[in-house]
Structure 1
Amino acid sequence: MVAPPARALAPRPGTTLSVASLGTFVALVAFCAPLGNMPTVAAALSAGPAAQTWILSSMSVGLAAVLLTAGALADDYGRRRVFHWGAWLLALGAVVGAVSQEPVLFIVGRLIQGVAGAALIAASLGAVAHAFAAPAARATASGIWGASVGAGIAVGPVLAGLLDLAGWWRGLYWALAVASLAIGQVATRALAESRSAVPKRIDVPGAFTLCAAMVLILVALVEGRQGNTPATALCGIGAAVFTLAFVGVERRRPFPMLDLALFRRRDFLAATLAALATGAGIIGLMSFACTFLVKTMHVSTLAAAGVIALWSGTSVVASLLARKLPARLAGSPQLVIGLAGVGVAMLTMTGLSPESSLLRLIPGLLLAGIASGLLNAGLGRQAVASVPADQGGLGSGANNTARYLGSSIGVTIVSIIALDPAGTIDGMVTGWNHAAVTMGLISLVGAGVVAVLVRGDAIRR
Structure 2
Amino acid sequence: MPELSSRRRMLVLAICCMSLLIVSLDTTVLNVALPSMARDLDAGTSGLQWTIDAYTLVLASLLMLAGSTADRIGRKRVFMAGLIVFTLGSALCSVAPDLETLVVFRMIQAVGGSMLNPVAMSIITNTFLDPRERARAIGAWGAVVGISMAAGPMIGGVLVEAVSWRAIFWINLPVGLAALLLTLRYVPESRAAKPRRPDPVGQVLVILLFGSLTYAIIEAPAAGLGYVLPFAAVALFALLALLHYEPRRAEPLIDLRFFRSAPFSGATVIAISAFAALGGFLFLSTLYLQNVRGLDALHAGLWMLPMAVPTFVCAPLSGRLVGNRGPRVPLLIAGVAMTAGALMFAAFQAETSDLTLLLGYVLFGIGFGFVNAPITNTAVSGMPVAQAGVASAVASTSRQLGTTLGVAVVGAVLATGLGGASYATAFVGAARPGWWVLVGCGVVVLVVGLLTSGRWARATADRCATRLEAPEVRGVVGARSESRGGR
Q: Same fold (TM over 0.5)?
A: yes
The residue aligned with 1:341 is: 337
- The alpha carbon displacement at 1:278 in A equals 0.5
Asked if 1:452 is matched to 2:447, the reply is: no
Does the CA contact (< 8 Å) of 2:337 and 2:367 recur in 1?
Answer: yes
Could you say if the C-alpha distance between residues 332 and 124 of structure 1 is closer, same or farther in structure 2, counting changes exceeding 3 Å? farther
Could you say if the C-alpha distance between residues 85 and 226 of structure 1 is closer, same or farther in structure 2, counting changes exceeding 3 Å? farther
Matched AA of 1:336: L
Could you say if the C-alpha distance between residues 192 and 440 of structure 1 is closer, same or farther in structure 2, counting changes exceeding 3 Å? same
Asked if 1:107 is matched to 2:106, the reply is: no
2:407 to 411, 421, 426: 411
SS in 2 for 1:63: helix
Asked if 1:430 is matched to 2:429, the reply is: yes
The residue aligned with 1:269 is: 265
- The alpha carbon displacement at 1:332 in A equals 4.5
Asked if 1:381 is matched to 2:350, the reply is: no
Could you say if the C-alpha distance between residues 272 and 155 of structure 1 is closer, same or farther in structure 2, counting changes exceeding 3 Å? same
More displaced 10-residue stretch of structure 1: 133-142 or 192-201: 192-201
Does the CA contact (< 8 Å) of 2:140 and 2:316 recur in 1?
Answer: yes
* TM-score (structure 2 length as normaliser): 0.86
- The alpha carbon displacement at 1:328 in A equals 6.8
Supply the distance in 2 between the matched residues of 1:331 and 1:354 (Cα, whole angstroms). Answer: 30
- The alpha carbon displacement at 1:390 in A equals 2.2
More displaced 10-residue stretch of structure 1: 382-391 or 82-91: 382-391
Matched AA of 1:205: V
Does the CA contact (< 8 Å) of 2:289 and 2:295 recur in 1?
Answer: yes
Asked if 1:420 is matched to 2:418, the reply is: yes
Could you say if the C-alpha distance between residues 8 and 399 of structure 1 is closer, same or farther in structure 2, counting changes exceeding 3 Å? closer
Could you say if the C-alpha distance between residues 256 and 438 of structure 1 is closer, same or farther in structure 2, counting changes exceeding 3 Å? closer
- The alpha carbon displacement at 1:106 in A equals 0.8
Asked if 1:85 is matched to 2:81, the reply is: yes
Supply the distance in 2 between the matched residues of 1:431 and 1:190 (Cα, whole angstroms). Answer: 51
Does the CA contact (< 8 Å) of 1:225 and 1:415 recur in 2?
Answer: no
Could you say if the C-alpha distance between residues 354 and 120 of structure 1 is closer, same or farther in structure 2, counting changes exceeding 3 Å? closer
Does the CA contact (< 8 Å) of 2:121 and 2:389 recur in 1?
Answer: yes
The CA deviation string for residues 116-158 of structure 1, in whole angstroms up to 9 with x for no partner, is 2221111111111111121110111011100112222333332
SS in 1 for 2:352: coil
Matched AA of 1:435: G
Does the CA contact (< 8 Å) of 1:9 and 1:190 recur in 2?
Answer: no
1:356 to 346, 352, 356: 352
Could you say if the C-alpha distance between residues 365 and 49 of structure 1 is closer, same or farther in structure 2, counting changes exceeding 3 Å? closer
Supply the distance in 1 between the matched residues of 2:2 and 2:261 (Cα, whole angstroms). Answer: 35
The residue aligned with 2:299 is: 303
Supply the distance in 1 between the matched residues of 2:252 and 2:322 (Cα, whole angstroms). Answer: 37
Asked if 1:232 is matched to 2:228, the reply is: yes
Could you say if the C-alpha distance between residues 292 and 258 of structure 1 is closer, same or farther in structure 2, counting changes exceeding 3 Å? same
The CA deviation string for residues 412-447 of structure 1, in whole angstroms up to 9 with x for no partner, is 332244442212545322234443233113311332
The residue aligned with 1:257 is: 253
- The alpha carbon displacement at 1:351 in A equals 4.6
The CA deviation string for residues 381-438 of structure 1, in whole angstroms up to 9 with x for no partner, is 1221153222222122111212222222222332244442212545322234443233
Alignment of 1:2-401 (within 5 A): 12-325=8-321, 329-352=325-348, 356-401=352-397
The root-mean-square deviation of aligned C-alpha atoms, in Å, is 2.5
More displaced 10-residue stretch of structure 1: 65-74 or 438-447: 438-447
Could you say if the C-alpha distance between residues 56 and 258 of structure 1 is closer, same or farther in structure 2, counting changes exceeding 3 Å? closer
Supply the distance in 2 between the matched residues of 1:404 and 1:394 (Cα, whole angstroms). Answer: 15
Supply the distance in 2 between the matched residues of 1:169 and 1:24 (Cα, whole angstroms). Answer: 21
Could you say if the C-alpha distance between residues 153 and 393 of structure 1 is closer, same or farther in structure 2, counting changes exceeding 3 Å? farther
Does the CA contact (< 8 Å) of 1:89 and 1:113 recur in 2?
Answer: yes
The CA deviation string for residues 71-114 of structure 1, in whole angstroms up to 9 with x for no partner, is 22222222211211111111121121111111111111111122
The residue aligned with 1:441 is: 440
* TM-score (structure 1 length as normaliser): 0.91
- The alpha carbon displacement at 1:339 in A equals 2.2
Percent of aligned pairs with the same amino acid = 26
Does the CA contact (< 8 Å) of 2:118 and 2:392 recur in 1?
Answer: yes
Supply the distance in 2 between the matched residues of 1:156 and 1:226 (Cα, whole angstroms). Answer: 31
Does the CA contact (< 8 Å) of 1:350 and 1:433 recur in 2?
Answer: yes
Unaligned runs of 5+ in 2: 463-487
Matched AA of 2:139: G
Matched AA of 2:256: L
Larger Rg computed on CA atoms:
2
- The alpha carbon displacement at 1:273 in A equals 0.8
More displaced 10-residue stretch of structure 1: 327-336 or 278-287: 327-336
Could you say if the C-alpha distance between residues 177 and 351 of structure 1 is closer, same or farther in structure 2, counting changes exceeding 3 Å? same
Does the CA contact (< 8 Å) of 1:63 and 1:118 recur in 2?
Answer: yes
Could you say if the C-alpha distance between residues 200 and 442 of structure 1 is closer, same or farther in structure 2, counting changes exceeding 3 Å? closer
Figure out how many residues of one structure are paired with residues of the other and give that number: 455
Unaligned runs of 5+ in 1: 1-6
SS in 1 for 2:242: helix
Supply the distance in 2 between the matched residues of 1:58 and 1:184 (Cα, whole angstroms). Answer: 25
